[in-house]
Amino acid sequence: MADTVATDPSIASLQNDIAALKRDMASLIEHLKTTASNSASEAAGRIDEGAREIYRTVSTEGCRAARMMEKSIEDQPLVALCVALGIGYIGGRLLTR
């Protein structure tokens, strides 16, 4: 009977330790979820801003290239017409095959 009394405090101590471990694990998991969520939000924000910057750059460069092409066509309309006819002819020949 003395052994039973001696082991009861040990079991109670283990149960308390296990309960504390469960609380600590729950706290750690909650912290990890919060950290992961914040990191994902920050990464999404950076990706979004990067995509917007790429879009602005491509849009600006596209407009610039279109203006340069327009100026080139205005400066040399005959050359532009010949190039357009040549591309159309080659494209037509390739599509008929």
pLDDT at 1 over 50: no
CA distance 75 to 63: 18
**Average pLDDT rounded to a whole number, residues 22-42:** 89
Q: Estimate the crossing angle of helix 77-95 against helix 2-75, to 10 degrees.
A: 120
Predicted model pTM: 0.49
CA distance 55 to 52: 5
CA distance 75 to 64: 16
Please report which confidence band the pLDDT of residue 7 belongs to, taking 50, 70 and 90 as the band edges: low
Please report which confidence band the pLDDT of residue 38 belongs to, taking 50, 70 and 90 as the band edges: confident
Containing domain of residue 63, as a range?
2-95
**Average pLDDT rounded to a whole number, residues 14-26:** 91
CA distance 14 to 37: 34
pLDDT for residue 9: 80
Report the domain count for the chain.
Answer: 1
**Average pLDDT rounded to a whole number, residues 75-94:** 93
Please report which confidence band the pLDDT of residue 10 belongs to, taking 50, 70 and 90 as the band edges: confident
